[in-house]
Structure 1
């Protein structure tokens, strides 16, 4: 009887200590995240994956706002044509700053002594609703002449829904912290964002393990299914576009040129990866997947609403036959992919907006 009481007392004390520890941990994590936002915790803002101000990204120092760019003034210098690049981790880039497509594009636009400033406002982990929030909260105050919005086919359609579900289930910062650590330990082989200055970028080093990357790509590829049994993806498209339409309204009202860059997913341009994914669907119909479907849906809506866009898909399909454009087991461009994007965007921008860039 005494032993039973001791056991009960032990478990009761353990329960009390555990509960107090969890409560204190929850409070501590929330205070820490408020002061120093980090991707380890889920929140409602677009700052979860934002770079730490003045921190190192390879051999480059992020600016005082945590953007992967040099310092800039809120007031636009006289005679300068200012472009802001808004996007997610593609805009922030996993390559070092000099190889980022927005950095390269700015250099190309200024090669004839032009006065064009391209501010990279890319923040990893953002989606369409975040693009709208970033424009309103931080973009408009720098008086841009053009907004170059990078829309990634791979996840920007679904980001709004995924983040809403994530916020719904991860109300506890402790649970969010544990889940983030598990993901880092089980899904990644290489580096996550904001490596220390001592680390060197390796262009051919894989980020995720093979199994995770293939399964993740397969799951995303449901958007390419022709004649699906439901219209869930169509709803995702409408939701994502609704935020871009709001951005368009704001830009039109402020006399700002809006150009959307449509960034293809690797499976849309890499034939070898495409073949693996088609086999994973295990279908009798070899044409079950239409890898151009999301682009067509997006462009049709853009055309209906007079939203200007540059679709990179055809150029990336052509170039990928000879050159790898994405980092191994990663959704992001490698150095060659960033270089190609900069070249294609430069040609299109120069051709379509020559008067604005004089």
Structure 2
């Protein structure tokens, strides 16, 4: 039967069909892939660009940022000897609130008000999506050009340990984050070459963003309805609408993110050594940063930023309610602070733990954006207050 079927096929027409398919479909797709590699610097001019050392960086002078792509104005690289200069090195927390509303800008304004003139430069040095190991490279390549007196490392417990895979390198390809193994990176003529279809990744990413935006819109509509119903209840307490950002997630997506962060603190995994590679990589990076700064007579402090689930009991309860597989007794929700502080004390590195202040203030007002892991305006202001109170004494000594 099969032989009869094969005899019925017009092989000439079939071969023509294959040739046309290859010519009109596969060759154009292949050419699109080549174009997306070669013309990437010209076709994709979004917020991020490829960097051979860091993997990626923020593009300079876009959306008001500075010459190194940091969320700040330009400062002269030659430091004024009559001023105190500090760098705040961190991740996307250095972008929340924009250039003027970020805690680094608010901290500089507090020093300006205190001294009645601009005596203290607070320079924002941070790229979103980075952890301490990558921030060390960022500090070496760009940050130290500012010749600071002090470096404050902002450590976000929510993902800095979790993301610190010693083999990971996060690169930017056609405007999309991609995590690769450091040993697998291949660069030809200055372009990163990856073993995946750039066109397919681009389309998948756009579709994923579209889906998440639709879910976020639905959640926002439901949230508005709940506010409306509550406001019509005359016996209810006043409703305070949470501050939002353009990057608001759907409720399920946000809880999924917070769950992944909480899972780092599963007691059994910690005692079983599953987190040791990440933890040791962070320790190694902080130690190297400490030695580097000490060799240049630059002071060093670590500021520890809490995750929202650590200060907002309602959010923590929502996580455990959403995921039945999580048992509260199986998690130490402050494990990141405990692990890091033990290391910092053992190595004589000063630190600022913001957890207690944020817990207290969270009872009075929200400190984080709605369904978005970063601080709102109140959180940025509180972080600036905490840093100001801690740093003021030492900076005063500089001017004596």
Could you state the TM-score of these two structures normalised by the residue count of structure 1? 0.85
Distance 2:256 2:42 in 1: 34
1:176–1:354: structure 2 CA closer, same or farther, 3 Å change rule? farther
Local SS of the residue matching 2:321: helix
CA contact (8 A) 2:155 2:305 kept: yes
Aligned equivalent of 2:5:
none
Aligned equivalent of 2:135:
131
Aligned equivalent of 2:262:
221
CA contact (8 A) 1:207 1:330 kept: yes
Distance 2:159 2:396 in 1: 32
2:99 to 91, 97, 100: 97
Task: Tell me the matched-pair count.
Answer: 338
1:203 to 243, 256, 269: 243
Distance 2:306 2:300 in 1: 19
Aligned 1:1-358 pairs, distance under 5 A: 1=10, 2-13=12-23, 14-29=25-40, 31-32=41-42, 38-39=47-48, 45-46=53-54, 48-50=56-58, 52-56=59-63, 61-91=64-94, 93-113=95-115, 115-161=119-165, 163-164=168-169, 166-168=179-181, 171=194, 172=196, 173-174=198-199, 176-188=201-213, 189=216, 203-205=243-245, 207-228=248-269, 230-282=272-324, 285-351=327-393, 354-356=396-398, 358=400
Distance 1:73 1:123 in 2: 20
Which moved further from structure 2: 10-19 or 146-155? Answer: 10-19
CA contact (8 A) 1:49 1:123 kept: yes
Which blocks of at least 5 consecutive residues in structure 2 are unaligned? 1-9, 171-178, 185-192, 218-241
CA contact (8 A) 2:89 2:135 kept: yes
Q: CA deviation at 1:352?
A: 5.7
Local SS of the residue matching 1:18: helix
Distance 1:177 1:83 in 2: 39
Q: CA deviation at 1:187?
A: 3.2
1:85–1:103: structure 2 CA closer, same or farther, 3 Å change rule? same
CA contact (8 A) 2:84 2:395 kept: no
Which blocks of at least 5 consecutive residues in structure 1 are unaligned? 191-201
Distance 1:36 1:340 in 2: 35
Task: Output one character per residue of 1:64-107: Cα deviation in whole Å (capped at 9) or x when no partner.
Answer: 3322222210100121111011111101x231322211111111
Local SS of the residue matching 1:231: coil
Q: Highest CA radius of gyration, 1 or 2?
A: 2
Task: Output one character per residue of 1:39-79: Cα deviation in whole Å (capped at 9) or x when no partner.
Answer: 4x7765447351x43333xxxx3233322222210100121
Aligned equivalent of 1:199:
none
Q: Indicate the structure with greater strand content.
A: 2
Task: Output one character per residue of 1:190-237: Cα deviation in whole Å (capped at 9) or x when no partner.
Answer: 9xxxxxxxxxxx933561111111112111211121232732223211
Local SS of the residue matching 2:303: strand
CA contact (8 A) 2:57 2:127 kept: yes
Distance 1:182 1:96 in 2: 27
CA contact (8 A) 2:47 2:62 kept: no
Task: Output one character per residue of 1:267-304: Cα deviation in whole Å (capped at 9) or x when no partner.
Answer: 11111110122234525854222111111000001111
Distance 1:151 1:128 in 2: 7
Task: Output one character per residue of 1:135-194: Cα deviation in whole Å (capped at 9) or x when no partner.
Answer: 11122222110001111111111323284381249825545534543443233549xxxx
CA contact (8 A) 1:263 1:311 kept: yes
Flag as ranges the 4+ runs of structure 1 deviating above 6 A: none
